[in-house]
Structure 1
Amino acid sequence: MLKHRILRLLTLALVAVLQACVYVPKTTQVFDPECQRVSKHMVLQEVQVAAIHGCANEACIALIVGAGIVTAASVVISGPIVVAGNVAYWFEKKAQCQRAQP
């Protein structure tokens, strides 16, 4: 019983820390000295959309848990997009770099 309460409180605390943050893919550009060109790279960027303050009742707890679920879902969806984007940018870089060399 006490073990379940502690686990529930820890889960709620973790969700509260992550509340209303979503992760979106962002493309950055960096200069690649090896190929003498600008290369693209994708990263996950954290974006805070809202903050929940002063909640104590059941509705607020449900709202916080829902925000945690949205955060987890955004990581699960955006993560593979970033990986696939970086693979595509890597192939693009390799193709253009080979053409640039004499």
Structure 2
Amino acid sequence: MMVLPIIVLGGCVFLPVTTTEYDAECDITKRHMVLKPHQVEAFVGCQDEGCAALLVLAGAVTATSVVISGSVAVIGEAVYWLEAKRQCRNR
């Protein structure tokens, strides 16, 4: 039962992506940073113990990408928030 989420997430990496939206109140375009999952084709042609090792490695890669990309997204979101506040105040 616990293997299913690992298999589903095991072939993914998470990358920060910048999106934009218009803020009519301040008349500016705000930027936001979000995490987007990207599927990695890692399980093609694996067998027996090779699949188990690949599954553990894929889980470690997924966890690492979430931590690193999540940190980048949090810092980027803070910078974008400060930028939007400054731009809004200047109008």
What TM-score comes out, normalization by structure 2 length? Answer: 0.90
* Structure 1 spans left out of the alignment, 5+ residues: 1-8
SS in 2 for 1:40: strand
* Structure 2 spans left out of the alignment, 5+ residues: none
Which residue in the other structure is 2:53 paired with?
62
Which one has the largest radius of gyration? Answer: 1
| Aligned length, in residue pairs | 91
Matched-pair identity in % = 47
Higher relative contact order (CA 8 A, sep 6+): 2
Runs of 4+ in 1 over 2 A off after TM superposition: 53-56
Q: Does 1:13 pair with 2:20? A: no
Which residue in the other structure is 1:41 paired with?
32
Instruction: Tell me the CA shift for residue 51 of structure 1.
Output: 4.4
Q: Does 1:29 pair with 2:14? A: no
Which residue in the other structure is 1:81 paired with?
72
State the one-letter code of the partner of 1:15.
Answer: I
